């Protein structure tokens, strides 16, 4: 009798373990669905969902003995910057940078600021205004019957926004020397996606969409995973990429008395050399702070 009881107990335990293991597999899809689906991975990705950005170190005005405001451009067409651009269509838990930003604006987590006014975050944009800018230009199109007679008009939209046409980000940041830590550091102030497209008449246009205040966006970016080319188990986020400066960029403006961009006084190769000169000047400032 005792052996029969032990056998029943072992069978019950094995069935429980089997059902638990099966339950861990079912329902793991990254797509929201009411249907229980298999998990497309070997484990659940739970750490990114609750990840928070690394807080900034305390900073006093008295400790900043040097600062320079710089505007840069991150071009997604450069190989190191391609994780910002892909995937164009959401894949697993990866989303492109513009997808993450637009979803956060539509949900109310982020505030968009009008890039046509200034880059100082003075003019917030409503969600409806953002959607209006992305919808394109409304035009009236004539409707005709099979005989060619006009029977009415309908509204169509030209130059509609496409996520695939966002290939650059403008970056506004401040480089500063903190004498308390004896370090040259940088803090990003804002991000501005740039929409580059061709109109119906094949005219190339470049339109800054909106500015995003970076300290506000860090909580959103810290939850958005980015593809890692070398190790799929080590999941980075967009906040990690900005924090660790894992991108390539070039300067298109530095703070100056004329408030002008580099392309207003230099073109072509001269503009690239001017960009490198500005970067080198910031680097040399740190070296001059030390005495050997």
Is residue 24 included in any domain, yes or no? no
Give ∠ CA 98-223-232 in degrees, rounded to 5: 90
Instruction: Write out the DSSP string of 54-70.
Output: PPPPP--GGGEEEEEEE
Is residue 269 included in any domain, yes or no? yes
State how far the alpha carbon of 238 is from the alpha carbons of 9, 12, 193, 218, in Å: 50, 47, 14, 8
pTM score: 0.79
The number of beta carbons lying within 10 Å of the beta carbon of residue 11 is 10
Per the structure, the complete domain to which residue 85 belongs is given by 53-125+163-288
Please, how many CA atoms are within 13 Å of residue 83, restricted to the half-sphere of its CB? 20
Count of domains observed in the chain: 1
Is residue 225 included in any domain, yes or no? yes
What's the rounded Cα separation, in Å, for the pair 188 and 56? 11
Is residue 142 included in any domain, yes or no? no
226, 94 in Cβ contact below 8 A? yes
Is residue 182 included in any domain, yes or no? yes
Task: Return per-residue pLDDT of the chain as tens, 292 residues.
Answer: 566 556 665 656 555 444 444 333 333 444 444 567 787 777 776 667 778 899 999 999 999 999 999 999 999 999 999 999 998 887 767 899 999 999 999 999 999 999 999 999 999 999 999 998 888 766 666 677 676 777 766 665 667 889 999 999 999 999 999 999 888 999 999 999 999 998 888 889 999 999 999 999 999 999 999 988 888 878 789 999 999 999 999 999 999 999 999 999 999 999 999 999 999 998 888 888 776 5
């Amino acid at each position: 009798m005792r052996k029969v009881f032990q056998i029943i107990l072992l069978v019950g335990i094995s069935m429980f373990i089997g059902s638990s293991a099966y339950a861990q597999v079912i329902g793991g899809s990254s797509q929201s669905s009411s249907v229980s689906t298999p998990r497309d991975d070997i484990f659940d990705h739970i750490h990114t969902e609750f990840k928070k950005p690394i807080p900034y170190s305390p900073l006093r005005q008295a400790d900043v003995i040097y600062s320079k405001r710089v505007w840069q451009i991150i071009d997604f067409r450069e190989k190191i910057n391609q994780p910002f651009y892909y995937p164009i269509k959401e894949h697993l838990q990866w989303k492109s940078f513009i997808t993450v930003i637009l979803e956060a604006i539509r949900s109310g987590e982020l505030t968009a600021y009008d890039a046509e006014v200034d880059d100082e975050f003075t003019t917030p944009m409503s969600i409806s205004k953002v959607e209006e800018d992305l919808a394109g230009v409304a035009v009236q199109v004539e409707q005709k019957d099979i005989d060619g007679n006009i029977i009415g008009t309908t509204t169509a939209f030209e130059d509609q926004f496409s996520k695939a046409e966002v290939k650059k980000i403008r970056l506004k940041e401040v480089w500063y020397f903190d004498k308390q830590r004896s370090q040259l550091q940088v803090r990003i102030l804002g991000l501005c996606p740039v929409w580059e497209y061709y109109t119906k008449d094949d005219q190339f246009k470049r339109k800054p969409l909106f500015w995003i205040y970076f300290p506000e966006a860090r909580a959103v970016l810290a939850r958005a995973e980015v593809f890692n080319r070398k190790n799929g188990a080590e999941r980075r986020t967009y906040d990690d990429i900005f924090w660790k400066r894992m991108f390539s960029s070039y300067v298109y403006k530095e703070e100056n008395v004329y408030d002008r961009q580099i392309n207003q006084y230099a073109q072509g190769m001269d503009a690239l050399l001017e960009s490198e000169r500005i970067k080198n000047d910031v680097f040399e400032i740190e070296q001059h702070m030390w005495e050997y």
